Amino acid sequence: MTSGTTAPVLRVENLVRTFGGVKAVNGVSFEVMPGELKALIGPNGAGKSTCFNMLMGQLKPTAGKVFLKGEEITGKPPRAVWRRGVGRTFQITGTYQSMTVAENVQMALMSHHKRLFSILPHAYKVYREEAIELLDVVGMADQADRACAILAYGDLKRLELAIALSNNPHLLLMDEPTAGMAPKERINLMQLTADIVRDRGVSVLFTEHDMDVVFAHSHHIMVLNRGELIADGNVEEVRNNPKVQEVYLGGGTLYKQEPADA
Amino acid sequence: MGLLVAQLLTGLANAAALFLVASGLSLIFGVTRIVNFAHGSFYMLGAYFGVSLMDHLTGGFGFWTSIVLAGLIVGLIGVVVEILVLRPIYRAPELFQLVATFGVILVIQDLTLMIWGAEDQMGPRAPGLKSVVRIMGEPVPQYDLALIAITPFILFALWWLISRTRVGILVRAATQDREMVGALGVNQSWLFTGVFFLGSTLAGLGGAIQLPKGGADLLMDLNIISAVFVVVVIGGMGSILGAFVASVLISVLNVFGVAYIPQSTLVLMYVVMAVVLLVRPYGLFGREEKAGEHGQVGEPDRPIRPAGTLGKSLVALLIAVLALVPLYGGNFTQVLITDILIFCLFAASLQFMLSVGGLVSFGHAAYFGGGAYAAALLVTYADTPMELAFLFAPLAAGLLAIVFGWFCIRLSGVYFAMLTLAFSQLVWSLVFQWYDVTGGDDGLVNIWPAAWLSGTTAYYYFTLIVGIGGIILLRHITHAPFGYALRATRDSARQAEATGINVKLVQWTAFATAGAMAGLAGGLFVFSKGSVFPNELEISKSFDALIVVFLGGVKTLSGGVVGAAFMESVKDWLTRLEYWRLILGLLIIFVVIIAPEGIVGTLRKAAERVGLRRTEEFMR
């Protein structure tokens, strides 16, 4: 799927994050290639969200490096990472409740075009067409003028996706994009994401608990357990990986079985 | 050397009352997350009850019994306040709680006036501790030594209560996670009430125990509250030990200040606070306040749109009517409307940062008074022409807001509010104490407008243009991309940061803008009155603005202007009544509990209900 000649969009080298004595993420390295839809899975507490927060700059890594298109972005604040072309959606949506659907996207567009400190025009008219176009991509154009506060949760998730696309990102980071959604909505949202990856050439890295969603749409899957990457490969490789089976099916314990000779 | 020791001992003795009051406030905040502005009132009540009880209970036993009884009575009053005023609004945004406790201050002030009268009460001296002890040749009052001896016991008792008893475990648990304590089956209501009782009792004890040193008067409540805030902010909200250390620090500092640099005692306190917060934003022993995921509590604000044709026509009509006022209205009407317009602009500037930006400032008077003083100082010392001095008012206030804003913006929520308050007190104390330059209490006078604006009518039109222009400008900015960016930071700071918005920079800019506009109002004010006094910088001035924004409606755009116009119109009539504070206080409490949407919000809802106004398209 990915050729060896193209450069990765995202390269992570030996990422470590400790909380007190706990190593939440312990030496994780991976790459995300252009146009790739890659899943990061793992049991609760495996370090997925910690990992995500370090990629986007919400959390500073204890050690390790993050490169976006070859440029190091380790420890840069979220807004700087966003300016370099990384969009993000959150596990719990954080849209602007007091604005309409279209205004939420317009806000991101105003930020992208560096118009935040402009005091001349009426903001509700600024970049309205572009916002409607983006809303059309996620199928929300017909709700453009509704207040965000009265949207259904699934619609909020789609709105968040439109916002994340507003800076023409190279990479989308989606933290549990389908959490809290009905099964049918989940399938629709992931199909939508897959379409966006195909049509726009965006790379997507996402975490997810729903294995149906993961195995149906991802090109590659990474499995994180207790802060360490135990698998990174295509769907078949990961499905057949004995360590992964151990973590997800085996033994009823998530802890590594330390053999006597270790 | 002897003098130094004596001064140190005086400072330690003064720390006793301060510590009692501050630890009570800290305790209440830790558990209920309410900053009780009325805490100073409990302190005042403790002093008054103490005086009355000591009249009847004589002798050493009577004296100490009176102190304890005064504390307990105040504790019970605290319980009444908690049950009647605060219980209904625990789930409301913190601003509502702060405003409600301010209503309580006004009510208690007038009730105290009713019961004890306006005269200051002398505190009796402690029986058996009336003389002085010579320490290294210097006289030290025996009572001071008693206070120094008592304070560690109170600290120890509180420490023991908090860390060694079951109640203390519950209190500490609630300080960390109220919801979890509730989920584990603890009756939260009574835990809160109990803590309120304890905290109020401590304040009452503080008031009573300082009687031999200070007596009781009606200004005690606001006088101590700013010192207590400084102590709590320096020590760290919710930390008893912090309250102790900071009380000692501030009291000792004050005593040495009085002795060596008497011109700057008040200022010194705030400078120390600023330095501590620079190094440790949450105080010496405080823990970082983890704000909720999303700042807004309760129903989110509605989407906004610039006024339509109807709205614009109505505003145009109103301006036309105001422009015609000099034709039929006399001097009195013009002066009244001038005052109203100035206050409206001041309130609008606060509403901009408070409602649009979610930045609850408790010290907005610093920029209003700051602007007024800046212009007045230029006129007084540099004979600056009025036009230039007037322009300097918003400029100076804006600069002041840039400096203070840099500190304040680093904090959020209650900490932000406290710091803005402390900074405004810094400005006030500077103006109040720097007599040679600012005239202190005598103010600056003879600050009149230029000849072409000197008539009442001319200045009326000037205010009309500048005041309404300022209000419209603020409103336009609200609808512009910058206003939207500001609302974005309020709605979800996390989302804003993740989409390239520099949240702190946007907030800082808004802070400076609001400050400059308040300064503009201050400039209008000083030339309309011809003078300016330190009370334009006082806490109560900041509260005036907060209250009108609140009365008008926090979650609206025009609430500040409407509330200010309403309040300034009725103030003249209201203040003629003997107990107007009582009425105003009850009105505030009433609005907080019954009609939290304010005048504009309530009218809007009512109009929608009866069908006069359609629910906006985006709410369907």
Reported ipTM: the value is 0.90
Residue of B312, B492, B495 to mutate, interface with A, max A Cβ within 10 Å = B495
Residue of A nearest to B355 (CA): A98
Residue type, B424: S
pLDDT reading at A9 higher than 70 = yes
**Are residues A98 and B306, on separate chains, in Cβ contact within 8 Å?**
no
More confident residue, B186 or A85: A85
**Are residues B480 and A88, on separate chains, in Cβ contact within 8 Å?**
no
Burial of residue A258, with CB atoms counted within 10 A of its CB: 0-12 exposed, 13-18 middle, 19 or more buried: exposed
**Are residues A79 and B300, on separate chains, in Cβ contact within 8 Å?**
no
Tell me, what DSSP letter sits at residue B304? -
B558 lies in a domain?
no
A152 lies in a domain?
no
**Are residues A146 and B620, on separate chains, in Cβ contact within 8 Å?**
yes
Nearest to B206, CA basis, from B66, B65, B44 = B44
Q: What 3-state DSSP class applies to B17?
A: helix
Instruction: List the end-to-end C-alpha distance of chain B, in Å, as a whole number.
Output: 77
Provide the angle, in degrees to the nearest 10, between the axes of the packed helices B39-56 and B220-235.
120
B207 lies in a domain?
yes
**Are residues B619 and A147, on separate chains, in Cβ contact within 8 Å?**
yes
Q: Which residues pair with A23 in a beta bridge?
A: A18
Tell me, what DSSP letter sits at residue B607? H
B276 lies in a domain?
no
**Dist CA B176 CA B235 (whole Å):** 18
Please list the alpha-helical segments (H only) found in A201-233.
Answer: 211-217
Tell whether A108 lies on the interface with B, counting CB pairs under 8 A: yes
Chain A residues within 8 A of B500 when measuring between CB atoms: 79, 82-83, 108, 111-112, 167
Are both B323 and B427 inside the same structural domain? Answer: yes
Residue of A nearest to B486 (CA): A116
Query: pLDDT at position B290, please?
Result: 56
Burial of residue B375, with CB atoms counted within 10 A of its CB: 0-12 exposed, 13-18 middle, 19 or more buried: buried
Whole-model pTM over 0.95: no
pLDDT reading at A3 higher than 50 = no
- Please, how many CA atoms are within 13 Å of residue B527, restricted to the half-sphere of its CB? 34
- Counting as low any pLDDT under 70, the low residues of chain B are 263, 289-298, 612-617, 620
Are both B412 and B532 inside the same structural domain? Answer: yes
**Dist CA B426 CA B226 (whole Å):** 10
Are both B419 and B520 inside the same structural domain? Answer: yes
Chain B residues within 8 A of A117 when measuring between CB atoms: 481-482, 485, 509
Instruction: List the end-to-end C-alpha distance of chain A, in Å, as a whole number.
Output: 37
Are both B223 and B330 inside the same structural domain? Answer: no
**Are residues B479 and A123, on separate chains, in Cβ contact within 8 Å?**
yes
Task: Specify the number of domains making up chain B.
Answer: 2
Tell whether B307 lies on the interface with A, counting CB pairs under 8 A: no
**Dist CA A223 CA B297 (whole Å):** 38
Tell whether B512 lies on the interface with A, counting CB pairs under 8 A: no
Q: How many beta-carbon pairs below 8 A join chains A and B?
A: 126
Chain B residues within 8 A of A151 when measuring between CB atoms: none
For tokens 């809290």, what's the residue?
A180
A55 lies in a domain?
yes
A108 lies in a domain?
no
User: Which structural domain range is residue A183 located in?
Assistant: 10-85+169-248
Considering chain A, what percentage of its residues have pLDDT values greater than 90? 57
Q: What 3-state DSSP class applies to B484?
A: helix
Chain B: give the shortest CA distance to residue A82, in Å. 6
Are both B39 and B172 inside the same structural domain? Answer: yes
CB atoms within 10 A of CB B545: 28
Q: Which of A103, A111, A115 sits opposite B499 (nearest CB)?
A: A111
A76 lies in a domain?
yes
**Are residues B494 and A100, on separate chains, in Cβ contact within 8 Å?**
no
B117 lies in a domain?
yes
B511 lies in a domain?
yes
What contacts B176, CB < 8 A, 6 or more positions away?
Answer: none
**Are residues A97 and B491, on separate chains, in Cβ contact within 8 Å?**
yes
Chain A residues within 8 A of B618 when measuring between CB atoms: 100, 145-147
Q: Which of B479, B480, B502 sits opposite A79 (nearest CB)?
A: B502
**Are residues B492 and A96, on separate chains, in Cβ contact within 8 Å?**
yes
B594 lies in a domain?
no
**Dist CA B43 CA B133 (whole Å):** 29
Query: pLDDT at position A262, please?
Result: 38
Query: pLDDT at position B301, please?
Result: 82
**Dist CA B199 CA B78 (whole Å):** 8
**Are residues A123 and B293, on separate chains, in Cβ contact within 8 Å?**
no
Residue of B nearest to A53 (CA): B498
Tell whether A127 lies on the interface with B, counting CB pairs under 8 A: no
Query: pLDDT at position A260, please?
Result: 47
Chain A: give the shortest CA distance to residue B287, in Å. 17
Chain B: give the shortest CA distance to residue A103, in Å. 9
Residue of B nearest to A105 (CA): B499
Query: pLDDT at position B306, please?
Result: 86
**Are residues A123 and B495, on separate chains, in Cβ contact within 8 Å?**
no
Task: Specify the number of domains making up chain A.
Answer: 1
Query: pLDDT at position B296, please?
Result: 46
Tell me, what DSSP letter sits at residue A224? E
DSSP characters for B418-476? HHHHHHHHHHHHHHHH-HHHH-GGG-EE--PPPGGG-SHHHHHHHHHHHHHHHHHHHHH
Query: pLDDT at position B532, please?
Result: 96
Residue B233 and residue B273 in contact, taking contact as beta carbons nearer than 8 Å: yes
**Are residues A79 and B500, on separate chains, in Cβ contact within 8 Å?**
yes
Chain A: give the shortest CA distance to residue B479, in Å. 6
**Dist CA B580 CA B571 (whole Å):** 9
Tell whether A240 lies on the interface with B, counting CB pairs under 8 A: no
Nearest to B242, CA basis, from B307, B159, B174 = B159
Chain B: give the shortest CA distance to residue A85, in Å. 10
What contacts B238, CB < 8 A, 6 or more positions away?
Answer: B26, B27, B29, B30, B175, B286, B287
Q: What 3-state DSSP class applies to A221?
A: strand
Are both B223 and B322 inside the same structural domain? Answer: no
Query: pLDDT at position B287, please?
Result: 75
Are both B372 and B477 inside the same structural domain? Answer: yes
**Are residues B492 and A94, on separate chains, in Cβ contact within 8 Å?**
yes
B34 lies in a domain?
yes
φ/ψ of A255, rounded to 5, equals: -90, 145
Chain A residues within 8 A of B507 when measuring between CB atoms: none
Tokens found for residue B156: 């120890």
A103 lies in a domain?
no
For tokens 């202007």, what's the residue?
B561
Q: What 3-state DSSP class applies to A250?
A: coil
**Dist CA A134 CA A112 (whole Å):** 14
Query: pLDDT at position B297, please?
Result: 54
**Are residues B499 and A100, on separate chains, in Cβ contact within 8 Å?**
no
Cα distances (Å, whole numbers) of residue B108 to A12, B99, B112, B429? 62, 14, 6, 25
Buried b (16+ CB within 10 A) or exposed e, B440-459: eeebbeebbbeeebeeeeeb
CB atoms within 10 A of CB B408: 26
Tokens found for residue A87: 């969009």
**Are residues B498 and A78, on separate chains, in Cβ contact within 8 Å?**
yes
Considering chain A, what percentage of its residues have pLDDT values greater than 70? 93
A26 lies in a domain?
yes
Question: Predicted confidence band at A261 (pLDDT cuts at 50, 70, 90)?
Answer: very low
B277 lies in a domain?
no
User: Which structural domain range is residue B69 located in?
Assistant: 2-229+239-250
**Are residues A123 and B480, on separate chains, in Cβ contact within 8 Å?**
yes
Q: Enumerate residues 281 to 300 of chain B having a beta carbon within 8 A of any beta carbon in chain A.
A: 293-294, 296, 300
Q: Which residues pair with A30 in a beta bridge?
A: A12
CB atoms within 10 A of CB A65: 15
Cα torsion B182, B186, B192, B196 to 10°: value is: -150
**Dist CA B48 CA B217 (whole Å):** 8
Chain A residues within 8 A of B498 when measuring between CB atoms: 56, 58, 78-79, 82, 88, 90, 94
**Are residues B484 and A107, on separate chains, in Cβ contact within 8 Å?**
yes
Residue of A73, A95, A107 to mutate, interface with B, max B Cβ within 10 Å = A107
Residue A159 and residue A104 in contact, taking contact as beta carbons nearer than 8 Å: yes
A234 lies in a domain?
yes
Query: pLDDT at position A2, please?
Result: 44
Residue B348 and residue B472 in contact, taking contact as beta carbons nearer than 8 Å: no
Cα–Cα–Cα angle for B437, B440, B444, rounded to 5 degrees: 70
Cα B191 to the center of its chain, rounded Å:
27
Residue type, B545: A
Chain A residues within 8 A of B490 when measuring between CB atoms: 98
Buried b (16+ CB within 10 A) or exposed e, B380-401: beeebebeebbebbbbbbbbbb
How are the residues of chain A apportioned to helix, strand and coil, as percentages rounded to the nearest 5?
Answer: 35, 25, 40
User: Which CATH number does the domain housing residue A209 bear?
Assistant: 3.40.50.300
Are both B179 and B323 inside the same structural domain? Answer: no
Residue type, B422: A
Provide the angle, in degrees to the nearest 10, between the axes of the packed helices A101-112 and B481-491.
110
**Are residues A79 and B501, on separate chains, in Cβ contact within 8 Å?**
yes
A114 lies in a domain?
no
**Dist CA A78 CA A91 (whole Å):** 16
Beta strands at A63-68 and A86-89: parallel, antiparallel or unpaired: unpaired
Residue A153 and residue A181 in contact, taking contact as beta carbons nearer than 8 Å: yes
**Dist CA B201 CA B198 (whole Å):** 5
